[in-house]
Amino acid sequence: MIQINLDEIQRDTSSFLKLIQEGNILVIVEGDRPIAEIKPIQSSTSSKQLRPFGLCAGEFVVPDDFNEPLPDEIIHQFETAGNCC
């Protein structure tokens, strides 16, 4: 944890941002009293692991007619859905 005052952070903001990116926590003090804490955001993408292939195997089945055209009745419902109100 690094303590800094407002004058220091205003003079060299980019250096302090680099410290935060490196994982440091900054405590901004006024006099001897801490007034704020700045810390890096824990990114979920850095620790995100890929899901294994086939995780849901057997959970559901794609019907044989999946790629067949929709019935005219359903197409008509889609086309008129925005005209109801």
pLDDT value of position 44? 60
Q: Between residues 18 and 45, which one has the greater pLDDT?
A: 18
Q: Does domain 2-38 have CATH number 3.30.530?
A: no
Cβ-count burial 17-56 (b if 16+ within 10 Å, e if not): eeeeeeeeebebeeeeeeeeebeeeeeeeeeeeeeeeeee
At residue 29 the predicted structure's pLDDT band, cuts being 50, 70 and 90, is: very high
Q: For the chain, what are the domain ranges?
A: 2-38
Q: What is the pLDDT of residues 47-80, one digit of tens each?
A: 667 888 888 888 888 899 999 999 999 999 988 8
Q: What is the pTM assigned to this prediction?
A: 0.48
